[in-house]
Structure 1
Amino acid sequence: MTRVILSGCCGKMGKVISQSVSSFPNLQIVAGIDKFSDNSVQYPVFKTIAECTIEADVVLDFSRPEALDALLCYCKNKNLPLVLCTTGYSAEQLNQIQAASKEIPVFRSANMSIGINLINNILKDISAMLYENYDIEIVEKHHNQKVDAPSGTALLLANTIKNAIPEETVFNQGRDGIAKRAHNEIGIHAVRGGSIVGDHEIIFAGAGEIIELKHSALSREVFAIGALKACEYMGGKGIGMYSMDNVIKGSGEA
């Protein structure tokens, strides 16, 4: 049995994870971390992870970037794997995460959906081939409560495309004004409205044809299942940086 501490347990995703864990007989959420406890969960909740007195095997975070320092400190002190599902990290925080992976096992993914990560792998294979004759645009849509834009997933996909193309490309986030589109642009556009769980569309627009890759999350459960699969995977893993690629492929090396 892998014991999990869930950071952000009373948030929207935290609640879905708490409901979904019953489908994972080898996982148990033994404690939660949330400064706004609403007594909706069946395990003890602490306001900060530093206050947590419950022993666990892995820490799962679905909260906010501000929690990172405390999570890294706790996991280093306890020598625990850390599963990071939060988005919106600064460049400095990403460097912190990378540095921490040299001391403890760290899992990080901008999107916990299996489908998004499969699309990301497809982009690695096709982006360079299509780039010369196609303009590349990414459109992401989320609910009106999401605070970061563009989404972490849109940036994940954009960086995958950028890294696959040998030539220098630039991101154009939220195109504005009067200017002709440069071919080396990768457009990234964010829509915020209603209760959209998460839509991502990658457009390769050529002369006479359009190729589109699209993923729509119909419920938050898809992210919860991915996060719990990551917790299963990370139990007992060695020091290093892990991602959904490791989970999908079942590879044991960081």
Structure 2
Amino acid sequence: MSDMSDTPHRIAIAGCTGRMGHMLIEAVLATDDCTLAGALDRADSPAIGQDATAFLGRVSGVAVSADLRSGLQGAHCLIDFTRPEGTMAHLAACRELGVKLVIGTTGFSEAQKAEIAAASKDIAIMMAPNMSVGVNVVLKLLETAAKALNQGYDIEIVEAHHRHKVDAPSGTALKMGEVVAAAIGRDLKACAVYGREGVTGERDPSTIGFATVRGGDVVGDHTVMFMGTGERIEITHKSSSRATYAQGSLRAARFLAGRSNGLFGMDDVLGLG
């Protein structure tokens, strides 16, 4: 497989008929340095065989395909915002074909994460629970805030998403919790509280609480609260469009262009490490 350092960057899109898939296709078409090389969807999709840009009234010459080999033929990089089981199948195909992979899917098990890490020995992978540039800047701010507010402040994370989202809390909320916990020397698995009901007793100060809201067409809102005596610090990010995730994904694909293998995050892409 040729390297993506030559232009244009040849991008394949997984889940190409979904909301995020359409946004990614539009983003690719709007660039000067990227071209649509493949469009993947499930075998039961009514769009199979149709032109991937038909929804825009355009002709790209790229047909929606359920066949991974043909869909990835000639692609330098696959951008994947699907479900864990789909992403794992795509991962195996990319590893076999030498295609780089940008993963925006959330909800992976620890075993699946380990499999992704193992595949990164052979191909370059960028995986992040949120591709938004703004969210990743917020993660850096949270790290700084948590270190300074590590005593006397209760930490709560509230997130809201559209009614169609299937996992909770969001991958972004969990990432925020991981960043905060690591900054103050805690293990999120040991201190996270994901639900409160009934007589819960006084709040354990060592915990990090999560609250999830689902409804309407909310693209994604996240707030981390550091609540002390006499003051409350809130760090919030609100997404009004999925376009920010698409733009971040293309930045990630460009970042992977010069790399043959390795597992990277958005902090690497944005130089925040």
Please give the TM-score of this superposition, normalised by the length of structure 1.
0.94
Deviations 1:132-182 (A, max 9, x none): 111000000000000000000000000011111125660001222212110
The answer (yes or no) to whether the contact 2:226–2:234 under 8 Å persists in 1 is yes
Q: 1:217 to 1:171 in 2, by over 3 A?
A: same
Partner of 1:215: 237
Q: Secondary structure, in 3 states, of the residue corresponding to 1:24?
A: coil
Superposition pairs of residues 168-207 of structure 1, within 5 angstroms: 170-178=191-199, 179-207=201-229
Is residue 140–residue 272 contact of structure 2 (8 Å, CA) maintained in 1?
no
Q: Deviations over 1:97-145 (max 9, x none)?
A: 1111122111100001111100101122221320211100000000000
Please give the alpha-carbon distance, in whole angstroms, between the structure 2 residues aligned to 1:214 and 1:123: 10
Provide the rounded CA distance (Å) in 1 between the counterparts of 2:262 and 2:186. 30
SS for the counterpart of 1:208 is coil
**Secondary structure of the corresponding residue to residue 107 of structure 2:** coil
* Number of the residue aligned with 2:148: 129
Deviation, structure 1 residue 37: 4.7
Alignment of 1:88-107 (within 5 A): 88-107=107-126
Amino acid at match of 2:25: S
Q: 2:266 aligns with which of 226, 244, 249?
A: 244
Aligned residue for 2:149, secondary structure, equals helix
Give, in whole Å, the separation in 1 of the partners of 2:29 and 2:70. Answer: 26
Unaligned stretches of 5+ in structure 2? 1-7, 54-59
Task: Please give the alpha-carbon distance, in whole angstroms, between the structure 2 residues aligned to 1:104 and 1:167.
Answer: 32
Tell me the SS of whatever aligns to 1:136: strand
Counterparts of 1:58 and 1:189, CA distance in 2:
35
Residues 68 and 22 from structure 1, CA distance in 2 versus in 1: closer, same or farther, beyond 3 angstroms?
closer
* Unaligned ranges ≥5, structure 1: none
One-letter code of the match for 1:2?
Answer: H
C-alpha separation in 2, matches of 1:167 and 1:91: 19
Q: Determine helix, strand or coil for the equivalent of 1:111.
A: coil
Normalised by the length of structure 2, the TM-score is 0.87
Query: For residue 26 of structure 2, what is the aligned residue in structure 1?
Result: 19
Report the count of equivalent residues.
251
Q: CA offsets, 1:184-220, max 9 Å, x none?
A: 0100111000000000000001100110000000111
The 8 Å contact of residues 193 and 208 in structure 2, kept in 1 or not, is answered as yes
Matched, 1:150 2:169: yes
Q: Residue 243 and residue 53 in structure 1: after superposition, are their counterparts in 2 closer, same or farther (change >3 A)?
A: closer
Distance 1:37 1:12 in 2: 15
Q: CA deviation at 1:31?
A: 1.0
Supply the distance in 2 between the matched residues of 1:234 and 1:87 (Cα, whole angstroms). Answer: 20
CA distance in 2 between partners of 1:184 and 1:171 (Å): 9
List per-residue Cα deviations over 1:50-109 (Å, max 9, x = no partner). Answer: 443631111111111111232122111112211101111111111111111122111100
Superposition CA RMSD, Å: 1.6
